[in-house]
Structure 1
Amino acid sequence: MALGSDRSDEIEENLCEFSKEIYGECGILITNEPAETVREYVEKTTCKDYARMKSIVTETITIPAGIVSFGSERDCQPVPRTMEIFFKKLEVPVVVENNVLCLLEDYTICKIGDSLSENQANVLVRICYMKHFC
């Protein structure tokens, strides 16, 4: 670890103690700004990332039956029929009717408390890419 894993290789005194608390994907921000200023900045610039496989689901997400579409309520667009293969590979029950992609029944991608499978995570990534379904 760059900060040092024990006293013999730390770059500054006691940094090895700090490095023991760092794990996973993280970063270190060093600044002379007050803590509240940093918190406000982080809250304003934080964005959601898409779910990853084995993540624990925090909300139930269901695609409603009917034409699969995305965008805002004002600018709702049908998902291109070329996406049929993608959704079928992910085991989403879609059909093409009148040249648009449709679900014959509501499809629950994941339920609160589930651990995401690879397929569920891939469907959620696509939803994030397309913004949301309308």
Structure 2
Amino acid sequence: MALGNDNPNEIEENLRELFREIRGECGFFLTSKPLEEVREYVENFAVKDYARFRSIATETITIPAGIVSHHHHGRPVKKSANHLFFKKMGAPTAVENDTVCLLKDYTICKVGEPLNEHQAHLLKYLGYKTVTCKLLITHYYDKTKKATLRF
């Protein structure tokens, strides 16, 4: 392990304590900035992203009847395989002038309900970023104290 998982191998004294706190999906944020500046940055950092399979829907999204368009750029969804995908989802569709059209309003997802893989794919395909990703820092290594501390 690059951090060192025992005393003779660690690159900084007691850095192995941080190594012991690593569990599941995680990352490292390396900086020489003061702790309060990092805390402020982390509290204000947020990125919108696409919901994944089994995510809980954060809003109800209904596509209105008519030409199906991409959420952000407004371009119509062309026929190709997309029509079959909408049909598989149970959406009442037709193809007019090589463009997918909904025959009536179609609700992709409802707030509070888990998304199946097709719903998650459709939200991404249509450009709906419904999830907010934030950083969660749990521990940090203080080089001056040579210790791993809780954030």
- State TM-score, norm by structure 2: 0.63
What is the rounded CA distance, in whole Å, between the counterparts of 1:92 and 1:79 in structure 2? 14
Structure 2, unaligned stretches of length 5 or more? 130-151
Match of 2:18 in 1: 18
Using a 3 Å threshold, how does the CA distance of structure 1 residues 32 and 79 change in structure 2: closer, same or farther? same
Higher relative contact order (CA 8 A, sep 6+): 2
State which drifts further: 112-121 or 31-40.
31-40
Match of 1:40 in 2: 41
Q: Choose between structure 1 and 2: higher strand proportion.
A: 2
1:76-115 maps to which residues of 2 (within 5 A)? 76-82=74-80, 83-115=82-114
8 Å Cα contact 1:68/1:102 also seen in 2: yes
Displacement of 1:115 in angstroms is 1.3
Q: Choose between structure 1 and 2: higher helix proportion.
A: 1
Displacement of 1:64 in angstroms is 1.2
Structure 1, unaligned stretches of length 5 or more? none
How many residues align structurally?
A: 126
8 Å Cα contact 2:83/2:100 also seen in 1: yes
Structure 1 runs of 4+ aligned residues shifted over 4 Å read: 1-5, 7-10, 41-44
Match of 1:55 in 2: 55
What is the rounded CA distance, in whole Å, between the counterparts of 1:60 and 1:119 in structure 2? 16
What is the rounded CA distance, in whole Å, between the counterparts of 1:64 and 1:96 in structure 2? 16
Using a 3 Å threshold, how does the CA distance of structure 1 residues 94 and 20 change in structure 2: closer, same or farther? farther
The root-mean-square deviation of aligned C-alpha atoms, in Å, is: 3.1
Using a 3 Å threshold, how does the CA distance of structure 1 residues 127 and 4 change in structure 2: closer, same or farther? farther
Using a 3 Å threshold, how does the CA distance of structure 1 residues 21 and 112 change in structure 2: closer, same or farther? farther
Percent of aligned pairs with the same amino acid? 51
